[in-house]
Amino acid sequence: MTPGEELVFLPLGGAGEIGMNLNLYGCRGKWLMLDLGVTFADDSAAGLDVLMPDPTFIEERRADLLGIVLTHAHEDHLGAVPDLWPRLRCPVYATPFAASVLRRKLGEAGIEGDVPIIEVPLGGKLSLPPFELEFVTMTHSIPEPNAVSIRTPFGVVMHTGDWKIDPEPLIGEVTDEAALRRIGGEGVLAMICDSTNVFVEGESGSESDVREELAALIRARKSLVAVTCFASNLARVESVALAAVAADRHPVLVGRALHRMVSAARDNGYLLDFPPVVSERDAGWLPREKVCLICTGSQGEPRAALARLAQGENRDISLQPGDSVIFSSRVIPGNEKSIGRIQNLLAERGVEIVTDRDASIHVSGHPARDELVRLYQWVRPTVAVPVHGEYRHLVEHAALARDCQVPTSIVAPNGSMVRLAPGPAKIVDNVPSGRLARDGTRIVPLDGTGLRDRRKMLWNGAAVATVVLDGRGRLATPATLTVHGLDDDDTVAEAHEAAIDAIKTAIDELSRAEVKEDAKVMEAARLAIRRVYKARFDKKPLTDVHVVRLPAAAA
C-alpha cells in the first residue's frame, strides 16, 4: 500500500507489547519512521538475547522512506538501528544525546561511517515534506526524551514517545508544558501516546525523592553495597554515586553499558560533576565498607554485571555474607523468573536484598493516570491511539481517553493501518508484522524453521537415525539411532530398542516402488520413531533420518 491523499499511522512494533517500537506515518506517497527498537528475549526464546520488529513492509517501500526519527536513546526505541538500518538505508534524525549513544552502538557493529545521523537541537524543527516536525522536550528516565509534533496537510499528530511529568528531573529539562499547550491550542488531530502505566493511579513520582532514599539506605549499610539499575537512567546512576561518596565509599561502575552511557552523557554536557570512580580491579583491594558497586543487570539478564557477581564469576570482586544488593528498578513484565533466579543466587551467598517493595528506591519513567489526564487536557486531540503497552494497556488507555472527552479512541495493535484523515479515523487495513531475533551474528525470523525446530527440541528432544539399505531396498544392518534430551535410564534403553525394531517394520512394509524413494523411506522411519516415543513418554522428538544405499555389488 502507498498512502495517497491521506494520513495513515501504522505500528509495526510496540503496540500490543512493551518494547521494540517501530511506528510509521504515511502521507502523499511518503513514509516517516519514528523509533526502531528492540526488546529482550524471555525464557521462551531458547538461545536468543534480543528481539526486534520485522521491517519487511517498509523495507519493500524504502525508496519512499524519508528517514528514521528517534524520540530518545532507550534500547526499545533505537536498539535495532545497527541491525536493521542496512535493510532501510535512510537518514537517522536524533537529538544530541541519542545521537551519541547511537554512534557508539554503530561503532560496535562496524557501520558507524555508513549511517547518516543528523542531529536536531532540543526543541528543534525538521522539514521532511509532506511532514513538518517539531521536537518537544519531555521528561523520562533518560536525558533528552522528546515528543514529536508532526504537521501534515491533513492535520497535526502529537507522538509522545516515552514521558512523564517530573517537576525535579535532576538531569535535563522539565516537560515543556508551554509548547504542549501551544500546539494543543492550534489544534491536534491525533495523539499517539505511551500506555505503560495506565493502570497506575496518581502520578509516577519524582527522581529527587529516590535520591534521598538511596542516600539513607547506602549510609546505613556496614559492608559492601551493590546497587543495580538501568544503565540509561543516568539520574539514578548519579544519585547512587553521590550517595556513595556521602557515605565515604568509592563508586565503581560494573558493566560496559554503564561506561558507555556515562561517557555519552559527558560528551553532551551531562554528569560533569560525576564523582571519580575506581576500577573493578582496584575495588577488590579496598575495605568492603568503602565500596559501592553500580551494576547493570537489574532485570536478571544472564550476561550482565549483577549475574556475574551473583554466580561468583567476577574476577576482581566477590559478594559475601553481610553484603547488600539494592534493586533500584521495577520488574518489567516477563522478567520475573530471571530476576528471581538472580535473587536466589544472592540469597544463597548470604547477601541482603533490597527491592522497591522494601523502600522507595524507584520511580517509573512513564506517566500514571493523573499525568495522562493532564496531557490530554493540554493537547486536546480529536483522536487517541494508545501505543507502548500490552493489549490490555491499550484498551484501558482508550477508555481513559474517552473519559477525557477525546471523541475517538482506536485500539490498533501491530500491523493495524489507521487512516487518521480525511474522514473518520479508523483501521482500514492490516499488514504483516512479526518479530526478528538476533541469533549469534544473524538476524532471523522468530517463527522461522530453525527457531521452531530449536523450540521443538527444547520440549521434546531430538532423534537422529541412519538406515543402510541394500540393493533391493531392504535394511542391510539394523538402523542406528541417537536420541538427545531424554535421561539415559532403563526405560529409555527399552524405547531405543523398540524404535529400532519399529524402523525395520516400517521399511519392510513399504512397497517395492516406495522403497526406491529416499523421501518415502525417511518419512516411514521418522514416523515410526515418533510413534514409539509418543507412546512411551508422550514426547515427539524432532527427528532426522539419513538414508545410505549400498551399491548393488556390496549388497
State mean pLDDT over 41-63. Answer: 82
Q: Distances from the Cα of 38 to the Cαs of 53, 96, 248, 286, in angstroms?
A: 7, 21, 39, 38
Listed residues 308, 325, 354: the one ending a domain: 354
Question: Is residue 439 domain-shared with residue 488, that is, in the same domain?
Answer: no
Burial class (CB within 10 angstroms; exposed 0-12, middle 13-18, buried 19+) of 375: buried
pLDDT, position 238: 96
Partnered with residue 50 across adjacent β-strands are: 40, 438
Question: Is residue 290 domain-shared with residue 377, that is, in the same domain?
Answer: no
Residue 331: pLDDT band with limits 50, 70, 90: confident
pLDDT, position 2: 79
Task: Report how far residue 389's alpha carbon sits from residue 20's, in angstroms, rounded to the nearest whole number.
Answer: 11
For the chain, percent of residues with pLDDT exceeding 90: 73
Which residues constitute the domain of residue 105?
A: 7-202+364-445
Closest C-alpha to 51, from 414, 416, 387: 414
pLDDT, position 555: 46
Partnered with residue 39 across adjacent β-strands are: 51
Is residue 268 assigned to a domain?
A: yes
Contacts (Cβ under 8 Å, ≥6 apart) of 284? 316, 317
In this predicted structure, the answer to whether residue 554 has a pLDDT above a threshold of 70 is: no
Question: Is residue 256 domain-shared with residue 343, that is, in the same domain?
Answer: yes
Question: Is residue 152 domain-shared with residue 24, that is, in the same domain?
Answer: yes
The Cβ-side half-sphere exposure at 86, using a 13 Å CA radius, reads: 9
Counted domains in the chain: 3
Is residue 250 assigned to a domain?
A: yes
| CATH number of residue 504's parent domain | 3.10.20.580
Q: Can you give the pTM of this predicted structure?
A: 0.86
Task: Report how far residue 447's alpha carbon sits from residue 545's, in angstroms, rounded to the nearest whole number.
Answer: 23
Please spell the DSSP secondary structure of 314-367, one letter per residue.
-SS----TT-EEEE-S---TT-HHHHHHHHHHHHHTT-EEE-TTTSS----SS-
249-258 pLDDT, tens digit per residue, is: 999 999 999 9
Task: Report how far residue 123's alpha carbon sits from residue 369's, in angstroms, rounded to the nearest whole number.
Answer: 26
Is residue 332 assigned to a domain?
A: yes
129-163 pLDDT, tens digit per residue, is: 999 999 999 999 999 999 999 999 999 999 999 99
Question: Is residue 261 domain-shared with residue 337, that is, in the same domain?
Answer: yes
Task: Report how far residue 112's alpha carbon sits from residue 104's, in angstroms, rounded to the nearest whole number.
Answer: 8
Listed residues 304, 326, 354: the one ending a domain: 354
| CATH number of residue 329's parent domain | 3.40.50.10710
Highest mean pLDDT of the ranges 218-227, 325-334, 456-465: 218-227
Is residue 245 assigned to a domain?
A: yes
Can you state the angle between helices 256-267 and 96-109, rounded to 10 degrees?
140
Task: Report how far residue 151's alpha carbon sits from residue 218's, in angstroms, rounded to the nearest whole number.
Answer: 48
Is residue 510 assigned to a domain?
A: yes
Question: Is residue 29 domain-shared with residue 145, that is, in the same domain?
Answer: yes
439-474 pLDDT, tens digit per residue, is: 777 787 767 666 676 667 777 788 899 999 988 888
Listed residues 387, 419, 445: the one ending a domain: 445
Question: Is residue 184 domain-shared with residue 226, that is, in the same domain?
Answer: no
pLDDT, position 43: 57
Residue 412 near residue 393, CB atoms below 8 Å: no
In this predicted structure, the answer to whether residue 500 has a pLDDT above a threshold of 70 is: yes
Residue 540: pLDDT band with limits 50, 70, 90: confident
Is residue 452 assigned to a domain?
A: no
In this predicted structure, the answer to whether residue 361 has a pLDDT above a threshold of 60 is: yes
Question: Is residue 192 domain-shared with residue 256, that is, in the same domain?
Answer: no
- The three-state secondary structure class of 552 is helix
Is residue 522 assigned to a domain?
A: yes
pLDDT, position 39: 86
Task: Report how far residue 555's alpha carbon sits from residue 552's, in angstroms, rounded to the nearest whole number.
Answer: 5
Question: Is residue 222 domain-shared with residue 326, that is, in the same domain?
Answer: yes
Q: φ and ψ at 223, to 5 degrees? A: -125, -160
pLDDT, position 474: 85
The three three-digit cell numbers of residue 385, written as one number: 491511539
174-200 pLDDT, tens digit per residue, is: 999 999 999 999 999 999 999 999 999
Question: Is residue 301 domain-shared with residue 387, that is, in the same domain?
Answer: no
pLDDT, position 553: 59
Residue-averaged pLDDT of the chain? 92
| CATH number of residue 45's parent domain | 3.60.15.10
Residue 494: pLDDT band with limits 50, 70, 90: confident
Q: Label each residue of 123-169 as H, E or C.
A: CCEEEECCEEEEEEECECCCCCCEEEEEEECCEEEEECCCCECCCCC
Question: Is residue 50 domain-shared with residue 127, that is, in the same domain?
Answer: yes
pLDDT, position 535: 87
Is residue 27 assigned to a domain?
A: yes
AA letter at 176: D
- The three-state secondary structure class of 203 is coil
Residue 467 near residue 545, CB atoms below 8 Å: yes
Q: φ and ψ at 191, to 5 degrees? A: -125, 125
State mean pLDDT over 205-226. Answer: 94
Closest C-alpha to 196, from 404, 42, 396: 396
Please spell the DSSP secondary structure of 164-195, one letter per residue.
B--S--SSSPPP-HHHHHHHHHH-EEEEEEE-
Question: Is residue 45 domain-shared with residue 190, that is, in the same domain?
Answer: yes
